[in-house]
């Protein structure tokens, strides 16, 4: 009797775990589509990674947690906020 209950409980846990993993993957895909990494932003703006970092820290138009977020040790910039980053080309 106890063994049947334990097996049923483990099956329910596995089902819940699969659902949680599916939802996490969905959220991760949404974030990846909406945000770009600093390196990708630098390639798009044709500037250095340091220039993008400088803008993130010093540009008053870019708000943390609104225009850019830090996830997993990486800064991610919203695609819609890229227009706020204006890099001057050196002559």
- pLDDT at residue 4 is higher than 60: yes
pLDDT tier at 16 (50, 70, 90 boundaries)? very high
Q: What is the pLDDT of residues 29-77, one digit of tens each?
A: 776 678 898 999 999 999 999 999 998 888 888 888 888 988 888 888 9
- pLDDT at residue 15 is higher than 90: yes
What phi and psi values does residue 58 have, to the nearest 5 degrees? -120, -15
Sheet containing strand 68-71, edge to edge, reads 35-37, 74-78, 68-71
DSSP secondary structure letters along 51-88 = HHHHHHHH-TTS-BTTTEEEETTEEEEEGGGGGG---P
Per-residue CA distances from 56 to 17, 23, 48, 61, 70 (Å): 37, 30, 13, 9, 11
């Amino acid at each position: 009797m106890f063994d049947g209950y334990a097996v049923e409980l483990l099956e329910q846990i596995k089902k819940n775990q699969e659902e949680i993993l599916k939802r996490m993957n969905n959220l991760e895909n949404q974030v990846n589509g909406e945000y770009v990494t600093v390196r990708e932003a630098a390639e798009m703006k044709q500037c250095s990674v340091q220039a993008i970092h400088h803008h993130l820290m010093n540009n008053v138009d870019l708000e943390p947690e609104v225009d850019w977020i830090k996830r997993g040790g990486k800064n991610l910039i919203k695609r819609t906020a890229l227009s706020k980053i204006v890099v001057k080309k050196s002559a």
